């Protein structure tokens, strides 16, 4: 089979979140199953710079405000199609945000252009896909543009919170039909929603965990689109994300002191404490690698931190985001058992996960989550909220799970400070039971966290749409 994957970001070229990791890793896993994947993404400066030898496969003299072309090339195992449209993508800074921290005002046109080119390639290119796999709102208009083509489309929802909204005045510029600006079409509270267009017109819908698929049909998780999700219930499936097990492999990771069993974590813990300025302590060293936002639940951790520190535990945090949360954790670092680094550092992220005893993921909602999977892979016990992919990937240390020796982490519910405090208390209790803790680490490191099973699920879905 031939699949065209359409995404706004793709690791290792350009990344702001988990979408990039998925877009970068899934093609290789599908390739192992004999499925040919080409990935279309925008020609941001970093992408153009990373490309080696290329050839032009499509020219667009006027693509929403300027000339463009599509370049074909390869980077490692990735077979790339890059939309080189300087008027849309050749700009410094964030791929989505301007220097003022706000969305680029032409984001609707930028990603409508990406979707338009995807539809053009699918119908007229020399390489014709059997179906088009679209990721999030940035590729949400692909199913709309292909609605009369007979080419199947799949839209994967990585996070339904982002809709890709535009004022109705942009309908002509985005090459949309005003007749479809209705509640049954792409209209959302008086605006154009690129994500809703994909939800309405895609042949099939997927999201990144079975639990999140069920949550999306509830008002508290559906972000105003729960009605659309309920209407498409029979076309929706949840397929868990995986991680790149070569990049995240404690036995071969060049950024840490490698280890094959959790007994080898000690050297990394010592090095991490030294790097972060933390003293020796009797309790567990908990780590955080995350965006600091309310969605991620870090306001809850502020209130629960005293429980961890009171039991002799420590916190090492790497992240950035909400200015208020950044300030609060900077202030918390006044305690000698709290260390905070604001920003993102890939090498430090590996060292935190290798050196930590537990990783905290207290999200209010989490479509899938990747950091808990990294934690499992490295024997770093996840403490997670009972939501989305966190619920699907962590086996809670309940009495029954502990009795059977299968627990891999801790889950808490509801998402409140009190519940998180209780989970941290339980974590410290388990830490004080070395045999139980060692068994949980062993269980964690043996969990399937790669793409093998998920790639098979996508392959089966693709196969069901073959003409």
pLDDT of 17 reads 83
Do 421 and 320 fall into the same domain?
A: yes
The encoded tokens of residue 182 equal 């209705």
Domain presence at residue 411: yes
Domain presence at residue 176: yes
Do 368 and 322 fall into the same domain?
A: yes
Domain presence at residue 31: yes
Distance (Å, whole) CA 190 – CA 168: 7
Domain presence at residue 247: no
Do 435 and 458 fall into the same domain?
A: no
Domain presence at residue 257: no
Q: For the stretch 299-311, what's the b/e string if a residue is b when 16 or more beta carbons lie within 10 angstroms of its beta carbon?
A: bbbbebbebbbeb
Do 377 and 355 fall into the same domain?
A: yes
Dihedral angle, C-alpha 290, 238, 130, 37, nearest 10 °: 30
Q: Please check whether residue 223 is in contact with residue 201, taking contact to mean a CB–CB distance below 8 angstroms.
A: no
144's CB contacts (< 8 A; 6+ apart) are 115, 176, 180, 186, 197, 198, 200, 201
Distance (Å, whole) CA 356 – CA 352: 6
Do 20 and 145 fall into the same domain?
A: yes
Distance (Å, whole) CA 289 – CA 246: 19
Instruction: Please indicate if the annotation marks 15 as binding a ligand.
Output: yes
Quote the domain boundaries for residue 403.
Answer: 262-445
Do 76 and 215 fall into the same domain?
A: yes
Domain presence at residue 408: yes
**Of 194, 213, 207, 241, the residue nearest 18 (C-alpha):** 241
**Of 299, 452, 282, 440, the residue nearest 375 (C-alpha):** 440
317's CB contacts (< 8 A; 6+ apart) are 287, 288, 329, 338, 339, 340, 341
Helix 323-332 to helix 298-310 angle (10° resolution) is 10
Domains in the chain, number: 2
Q: Please check whether residue 281 is in contact with residue 337, taking contact to mean a CB–CB distance below 8 angstroms.
A: yes
In tens digits, the chain (467 residues) has pLDDT values of 999 999 999 999 999 888 998 999 999 999 999 999 999 999 999 999 999 899 999 999 999 999 999 999 999 889 999 999 999 999 998 999 998 889 999 999 999 999 999 999 999 989 999 999 999 999 999 999 999 999 999 999 999 999 999 999 999 999 999 999 999 999 999 999 999 999 999 999 999 999 999 999 999 999 999 999 999 999 999 999 999 899 999 999 999 999 999 999 999 999 999 999 999 999 999 999 999 999 999 999 999 999 999 999 999 999 999 999 999 999 999 999 999 999 989 999 999 999 999 999 999 999 999 999 999 999 999 999 999 999 999 999 999 999 999 999 999 999 999 999 999 999 999 999 999 999 999 999 999 999 999 999 999 999 999 86
Do 165 and 235 fall into the same domain?
A: yes
pLDDT of 125 reads 85
Do 290 and 238 fall into the same domain?
A: no
CA distances, 370 to each of 96, 191, 454 (Å): 22, 32, 14
pTM: 0.93
The encoded tokens of residue 77 equal 């195992």
Do 75 and 194 fall into the same domain?
A: yes
Long-range CB contact pairs, 70-73, < 8 A, 24+: 70/40, 70/117, 70/121, 71/43, 72/38
- For residue 394, count CB atoms less than 10 angstroms from its CB and return exposed for 0-12, middle for 13-18, buried for 19 or more: buried
Sheet (strand 338-342) strand order? 338-342, 314-321, 285-292, 358-361, 381-385, 410-412
Give the position of tokens 């070229």: 13
Do 216 and 332 fall into the same domain?
A: no
**Of 119, 106, 116, 214, the residue nearest 164 (C-alpha):** 106
Helix, strand, coil tally for the chain in percent (to 5): 40, 20, 40
Do 327 and 230 fall into the same domain?
A: no
Domain presence at residue 143: yes
Distance (Å, whole) CA 64 – CA 77: 31
Distance (Å, whole) CA 342 – CA 298: 14
Domain presence at residue 248: no
pLDDT of 467 reads 65
CATH number of the domain that residue 456 is part of: 3.40.50.2000
Do 281 and 394 fall into the same domain?
A: yes
């Amino acid at each position: 089979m031939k699949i065209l994957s359409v995404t706004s970001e793709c690791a290792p070229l350009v990344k702001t979140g988990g979408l990039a990791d998925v877009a970068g890793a899934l093609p290789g896993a599908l390739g192992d199953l004999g499925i040919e994947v080409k990935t279309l993404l925008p020609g941001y400066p970093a992408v153009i710079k990373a490309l080696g030898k290329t050839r032009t496969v499509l020219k667009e003299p006027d693509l929403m405000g300027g000339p463009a072309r599509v370049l074909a090339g390869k980077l490692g195992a990735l077979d790339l199609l890059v939309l080189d449209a300087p008027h849309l993508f050749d700009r410094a800074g964030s791929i989505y945000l301007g220097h003022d921290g706000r969305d680029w005002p032409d984001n609707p046109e930028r990603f409508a252009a990406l979707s338009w080119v995807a539809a053009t390639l699918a119908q007229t290119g020399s390489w014709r896909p059997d179906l088009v796999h679209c990721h999030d709102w940035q590729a949400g208009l692909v199913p709309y543009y292909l609605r009369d083509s007979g080419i199947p489309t799949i839209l994967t929802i990585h996070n339904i919170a982002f809709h890709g909204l535009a004022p109705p005045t942009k309908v002509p510029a985005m090459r949309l039909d005003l007749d479809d600006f209705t509640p049954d079409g792409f209209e959302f509270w008086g605006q154009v929603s690129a994500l809703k267009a994909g939800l309405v017109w895609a042949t099939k819908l997927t999201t990144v965990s079975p639990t999140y698929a069920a949550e999306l049909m509830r008002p508290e998780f559906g972000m105003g689109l729960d009605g659309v999700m309920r209407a498409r219930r029979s076309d929706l499936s949840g397929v868990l994300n995986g991680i790149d097990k070569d990049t995240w492999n404690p036995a071969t990771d060049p950024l840490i002191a490698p280890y094959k069993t959790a007994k080898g974590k000690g050297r990394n813990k010592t090095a991490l404490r030294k790097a972060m300025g933390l003293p020796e302590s009797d309790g567990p060293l908990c780590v955080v690698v995350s965006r600091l936002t309310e969605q991620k639940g870090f306001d809850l951790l502020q209130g629960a931190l005293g429980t961890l520190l009171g039991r002799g535990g420590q916190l090492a945090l790497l992240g950035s985001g909400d200015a208020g949360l950044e300030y609060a954790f900077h202030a918390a670092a006044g305690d000698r058992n709290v260390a905070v680094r604001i920003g993102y550092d890939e090498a430090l992220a590996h060292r935190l996960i290798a050196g930590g005893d537990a990783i905290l993921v207290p999200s209010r909602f989490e479509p899938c989550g990747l950091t808990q999977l990294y934690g499992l892979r490295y024997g770093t016990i996840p403490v997670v909220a009972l939501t989305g992919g966190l619920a699907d990937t962590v086996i809670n240390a309940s009495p029954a799970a502990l009795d059977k020796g299968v627990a891999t982490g801790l889950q808490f519910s509801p998402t409140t400070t009190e519940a998180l405090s209780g989970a941290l208390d339980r974590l410290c209790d388990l830490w004080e039971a070395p045999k139980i803790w060692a068994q949980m680490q062993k269980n964690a490191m043996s969990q399937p966290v790669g793409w093998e099973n998920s790639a098979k699920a996508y392959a089966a879905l693709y196969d069901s749409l073959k003409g």
